Structure 1
């Protein structure tokens, strides 16, 4: 069996590791991959958004399954492109991927499905959005979102009118390209956030255990949003009945509504939720595995990931369950100096060969030259610690962080800190 993973980040590294461990013993390829992935799979120098080249390669090598990591190829229609050549893809259709590709589409789906979410207004003109912010209807803090996919950076939680107006002007001023040509302004919700994943074959869904990620660049949730600076799993603060409510009142109605409008969803659906004093509410949906949540979920999975993905593509997940390790996992993202704005590259990385036991390192933005690793992106490495308790997993993750060095390396020191207080021993 041959499997192609599309993408080049830490999420894809984790996916490759999990797929390569399958008892089906697949040959795993990655396009374009990264130096960490190259230790596990054969990498192919094809960009993740070059759908035709990816299709031609998959057809030539007779890939049995292609697993898509990032959202851009899915929103661009990679599944349709591959299916025309008789190739199987784990991921939604272009129409269904609009659940991430358009915040407006997602909000309309939620509204028609009766999914609890924040009140919202949609604007396609800057002056109308600014007029709304100056009206009595606007309550602060308030959330401004670019309509299109913006690599996790198109959301601004504005504490006052001035911040909100700046976010509106930035979006319509081209900061997010076409993604910002339309915006959503919505009610700010208070509560604990969680990331929920389900595999679905278009009919049934198979839930993963939830995780929590950290979007802001600095400790204490300060600074601008990023693609994600860390994560941990499982969530000690989430009660089983709350998770059940999320699945039955947020995820399942959304899947049902997508099928109802003629865009059945097959693949991995990511629900970003917030548990408020009045119950769980949906913040957003993504059409792919989360990053860096995948890096703390897959190391805890005992089930065969490849088997599950094949079952979803074949419409056969009914009656299946996922088996989990009792271990906990904590991920700390190491980022380049200047991230998430402009950032440095080409800085040598040391310490990767001297990591403590119980530590995984997933490459996210690196390059290799003459056997040495260098920074090549904003998020450079994902350091994951596992252990029987959050304290142990967190200690291992940060021990791994302490072993690694590159110029300007930045990371959060408070990942999973609040989870320690909630853990039962």
Structure 2
């Protein structure tokens, strides 16, 4: 079997690592990959959003199955185009991908079908948005409607900060057309968690819950990033709560889409705020999270290809999906200054030493090889992922791995997983 993985981040490196565990997978291509995927697969120089180029390549090479990592090609319609070309692909269609591509679409859907979420309003006029902020007060949340690589959300503690966010997104167009319309939401309190689920449009199977750390600095301080680390399972999501999330959020979401004439197949990512053992939806994504994939996939014991083919063929209900009882922690090593201004081209050393530690994998993201030397090319550079028996053991192991790795200006949070310790 030949498999194509679309994307170039840590999530894609993790997908390749997982797919390599299937003895039937003979060859894996990655578009366009990174230095880590290049060690396990064949990188190809085709951008993730070059759908025509990807189809031509998949046909030429006889690719049997394609996995899509990032959101942009999904929102652009890669799944529809691959299916039209007679190619097997895992992921939601363009219409289904609106759940992530348009925050207004997803919020309106939740409102219409009584799926628990924060109160909100949407705006295309910045002055109307500012007037609403003054009326509602702070804290309040301002979100660019479209795709902004996880950075288009501002949790404003003051009205001044919220107004500045409106100006940055709508007037200064920091995220381009993604900020032509914004959503302003009530500020929810509690603890965040992520529930990923496999679905074939009928059967929905939640994965082990995880918790991302979005802010750049310790203590959940600083600007939002694409994610500075994650751990799984997240104990704030008890078994009972996970069942409630499935029945009150996941199933109603898939059924709501069905009512709108949309079949959803693939991975559904639901970001939750949990307070008093009750969950509300913060956001949907339409693919594996990054860095959530780096902690969820290492705990998956069932073959990923088997699951993906069952989703595509709409027979997920016949697959038993098993999970390891262990814990996983991923700490992101980022470039100095990320997510705002950062330099690249820094030499990376020590990955091989880190991976000599039992049950540690270093999933690469913003890396490339230049003159036979591994160097940084992005904001999030590495995801040092450990699997262990309990949270303390796993956290300790992950940071032991971090200590072996070096590149100039490396920045990482020192508190990834700390919230889980309070439950032990």
Q: TM-score with structure 1 length normalisation?
A: 0.97
Residues 135-163 of structure 1: CA distance to partner in whole angstroms, max 9, x if unpaired? 2xx03210000000110000000001000
User: Which stretch shows the higher mean deviation, 326-335 or 24-33?
Assistant: 24-33
The residue that corresponds to 1:323 in the other structure is 322
Unaligned runs of 5+ in 2: none
The residue that corresponds to 1:380 in the other structure is 381
Question: Does the CA contact (< 8 Å) of 1:335 and 1:378 recur in 2?
Answer: yes
In structure 2, C-alpha distance between the alignment counterparts of 1:302 and 1:398, rounded to whole Å: 25
The residue that corresponds to 2:6 in the other structure is 6
| RMSD, matched Cα | 1.0
Secondary structure in 2 aligned to 1:367?
Answer: strand
Residue 241 of structure 1 deviates from its aligned partner by 1.0
What does residue range 350-365 of structure 1 map to in structure 2 within 5 Å? Answer: 350-355=349-354, 356-365=357-366
Residue 358 of structure 1 deviates from its aligned partner by 2.0
Residues 196-218 of structure 1: CA distance to partner in whole angstroms, max 9, x if unpaired? 11111111112111100000000
> Does residue 152 of the first structure (1) align with residue 150 of the second (2)?
yes
What does residue range 130-145 of structure 1 map to in structure 2 within 5 Å? Answer: 130-135=130-135, 138-145=136-143
Residue 23 of structure 1 deviates from its aligned partner by 3.7
Secondary structure in 2 aligned to 1:338?
Answer: coil
What does residue range 23-422 of structure 1 map to in structure 2 within 5 Å? Answer: 23-135=23-135, 138-172=136-170, 173-277=172-276, 279-355=278-354, 356-422=357-423
Residue 418 of structure 1 deviates from its aligned partner by 2.1
Question: Does the CA contact (< 8 Å) of 2:204 and 2:250 recur in 1?
Answer: no
In structure 1, C-alpha distance between the alignment counterparts of 2:257 and 2:117, rounded to whole Å: 17
Question: Does the CA contact (< 8 Å) of 1:206 and 1:320 recur in 2?
Answer: no
In structure 2, C-alpha distance between the alignment counterparts of 1:301 and 1:68, rounded to whole Å: 18
User: Which stretch shows the higher mean deviation, 158-167 or 320-329?
Assistant: 320-329
Question: Does the CA contact (< 8 Å) of 2:193 and 2:273 recur in 1?
Answer: yes
In structure 1, C-alpha distance between the alignment counterparts of 2:310 and 2:237, rounded to whole Å: 29
In structure 2, C-alpha distance between the alignment counterparts of 1:109 and 1:64, rounded to whole Å: 34
In structure 2, C-alpha distance between the alignment counterparts of 1:194 and 1:26, rounded to whole Å: 36
Residue 278 of structure 1 deviates from its aligned partner by 7.0
Q: 1:277 to 1:236 in 2, by over 3 A?
A: closer
Across the two proteins, how many residue pairs are aligned to each other? 421
